[in-house]
Amino acid sequence: MAESEHTFRRYKDGDHTYRSIGENIFEQDTTYKCPTYVNRTPPCQGSCPSGEDIRGWLSIIRGIEKPADGMDKFEYAFYRSTDANPFPAIMGRVCPAPCQEGCNRNEVEDFVGINSVEQFIGDNAREKGYVFKNDAPDTGKTIAIIGGGVGGLACAYQLRRRGHAVTVFDNHKELGGMMRYGIPGYRTPRDVMDHEIQRILDMGVEVRLNTFIGKDISMDDLRKDYDAVVIAIGAQSGRNIPIPGGDAPNCTTGVAFLDAYNDGRLKFVSKRVVVIGGGDTAMDVVSVARRLGHIEHTHENERPENIILNQTAQDVALTVKKEGADVILAYRRPVDQMPAALHEVEAAEREGVELRGSLVPVSVITDDSGRATALRVAKADWSSGQMEIIEDSEHDIECDLIVSAIGQGADLTGMEALDNGRGLINADKYYQVPNEAGLFVIGDVVRPHLLTTAIGQASVAAESIDHYLSNLEYDKRPKVDVHHFDLLDKLKEASLAPEQYTHEEVWGTNEADFAIHNYEDRSAQEIIPADKLFLGHFENTPRNLRPESFIKAENVIDSYEERFKGLAEEDAEKEADRCMSCGMCFECDNCVIYCPQDAVFRVKKDQSTLGRYVDTDYTKCIGCHICSDVCPTGYINMAMGDH
């Protein structure tokens, strides 16, 4: 081994005396570093497209962060949660929860059930009748929002909180967008959704339904009448299969299929259904098709494709003759690589859907009348990481209905000038349409993605609109662009805000009453990884699972029971307690207990709050690093005094 590879020697030439590590500690570390308390963003929040302060509302439910003015902790958690997302009950049910994939608890045993606790917060808020407070003074500014889905409604909510007048225009008979017309009701219960929508409207949001901007009202007129306009129309036009025969009359899109079902028109499907795709929309289509079943002998007008296309409804009386539909899902990649949420995939299989992976659609086989009778596919080999079609692997999957769930586009009628060439609209980082002052755009019309993505974009857009209406320059967006915990706000809430700075010359701030001593907020720049935590602190604790209705193939027809029942209060508290509070103190006392110099101490109770539970006496600190080593959450860094 080369001499340069030797990187550590416990003893050097000339050393003759052994000293224990304890003696070395008391002698003093040679780095001259002392602890500072650093707030970073946890990966759950960094992975959340709506940027919720997840660590915050979990901390409230588990009893660590205390509410102000004696407020019930569940109400306080509701307001913390809805600072970013006004739909906790719905999102707790349907969000595929990328936050859970990012959860550092995965390094211990299993992620925290964030969406199950969020569902509890929303359901409890509905039961207790919590409302959104709106005490912002009226600004006199008016904003038009085109589209009443989650993005448009979330934007209306954030703008009303700033005192702006908002009118939502929607071309449907009810609000909700894809939340109502694109997701089946057993996943988004209509009473729950309507309640969360109404809570936003009660803030003073005006609504105009059955109004198509671009047809009933021109975009030019709308921009003249309002101080700013937000386009949140979603992407409610599905994309047909781009293969020969894909325009057959019994080939439809997943968006159109779900719209017909959610509108109450589609009550049964064909005998053999093939769905192309592997995302959440595809999962909803196959699950709905299995629930609807088929009817052996029907009039041609009752065929599903005619119902979807002609906007008519099937005869309710026919539903008594239902039989199970054979539903096959074909996806071009292996089944285990489908982007749909794992629990949705597992539920579909349990309900009798046949999942076939590594199949590439080649063409649609049609009969003499032009109707599709089969989908011709070829097998794909992905072993190299790239798709390679297997020679002579083409075969036909017989079917009576083909549903394409491979992508979405927007209806830009009356807004054609904004089309970016892909049927969507471009946005800058402030969610303003480039070179169009006062015109903003959010949601699937920018890029089809998750409901929670549109909610997150709504927050940014509302902030940008507020700056635009005030003739202010847009702030630079933070690297970690989420709803951050602000210690100064927390201190103000607890009547512990620092005193005014008197500009007197002071050497050090450890005893000053105008400074937040020994604290650094890096949450806008850094997400804390698992390797900065002391994982050995956390015991193996199983996840508290929500009760789930496990519907099976034999009883799937007309089974519209809600899939997730929700946690009981006690279980929600237990699940919140599994949060490791990454990047923020959760008051475990390790640093106080293990400090050999008693330099780390608890802040007096009447001066303590979240993030200010412990402090350090620098006159006693010897820079031994022990407090940092035993901090489970990575909140303590050895940095002060570095030179």
Q: Do domains 142-236+410-469 and 238-407 have the same CATH topology?
A: yes
Six token digits for residue 163: 């005192």
pLDDT tens for 94-146 read 999 999 999 999 999 999 999 999 999 999 999 999 999 888 999 999 999 99
Beta strand ranges found along 296-358 (DSSP E): 326-330, 354-356
Q: Which residue has the higher pLDDT, 5 or 328?
A: 328
Q: What is the mean pLDDT of residues 28-52?
A: 86
Q: What is the mean pLDDT of residues 531-542?
A: 95
Give the homologous superfamily in CATH for domain 238-407.
FAD/NAD(P)-binding domain (3.50.50.60)
Tell me: pLDDT of 537 over 80.
Answer: yes
pLDDT tens for 297-346 read 777 778 888 888 776 777 665 555 788 999 999 999 999 999 998 889 99
DSSP string, 91-142: HHHH---HHHHH-GGGGTTS---HHHHHHHHHHHHHHHT------PPP---E
Tell me: pLDDT of 89 over 80.
Answer: yes
pLDDT tens for 483-529 read 999 999 999 888 888 888 776 666 666 666 777 778 899 999 999 99
Share above pLDDT 70 across residues of the chain, in percent, rounded to a whole number: 92
Mean pLDDT, rounded, of the chain: 91
Q: H or E segment at 275? A: strand 272-276
CA torsion, ordered 333, 335, 340, 341, to nearest 10 deg: -150
10 Å Cβ neighbour count for 550?
10
**Predicted pLDDT at 642:** 45
Between β-strands 636-640 and 34-39, what pairing exists: parallel, antiparallel or unpaired? Answer: antiparallel
Q: What is the mean pLDDT of residues 585-592?
A: 96
Rounded to an integer, what distance in angstroms lies between the CA atom of residue 381 and that of residue 369?
35
Tell me: pLDDT of 29 over 80.
Answer: no
**Predicted pLDDT at 1:** 45
Burial 183-205 (b: 16+ CB within 10 A, else e): bbbbbbeeebbebbbebbbebeb
Tell me: pLDDT of 24 over 60.
Answer: no
Tell me: pLDDT of 401 over 60.
Answer: yes
pLDDT tens for 421-456 read 999 999 999 999 999 999 999 999 999 999 999 999
Q: Classify burial at 590, counting beta carbons within 10 Å of its beta carbon; exposed 0-12, middle 13-18, buried 19 or more.
A: buried
pLDDT band per the 50, 70, 90 thresholds, residue 563? confident
Q: Whole-model pTM?
A: 0.90
Least Cα distance to 44 among 57, 26, 32, 60 occurs for 57
CATH topology of domain 142-236+410-469: FAD/NAD(P)-binding domain (3.50.50)
Sign of CA dihedral 179, 183, 186, 187: negative
Sign of CA dihedral 305, 310, 316, 318: negative
**Predicted pLDDT at 643:** 38
pLDDT tens for 57-73 read 999 999 999 997 779 99
Rounded to an integer, what distance in angstroms lies between the CA atom of residue 547 and that of residue 533?
32
Tell me: pLDDT of 26 over 60.
Answer: no
Tell me: pLDDT of 575 over 90.
Answer: yes
Q: Which residue has the higher pLDDT, 22 or 1?
A: 22
**Predicted pLDDT at 49:** 96
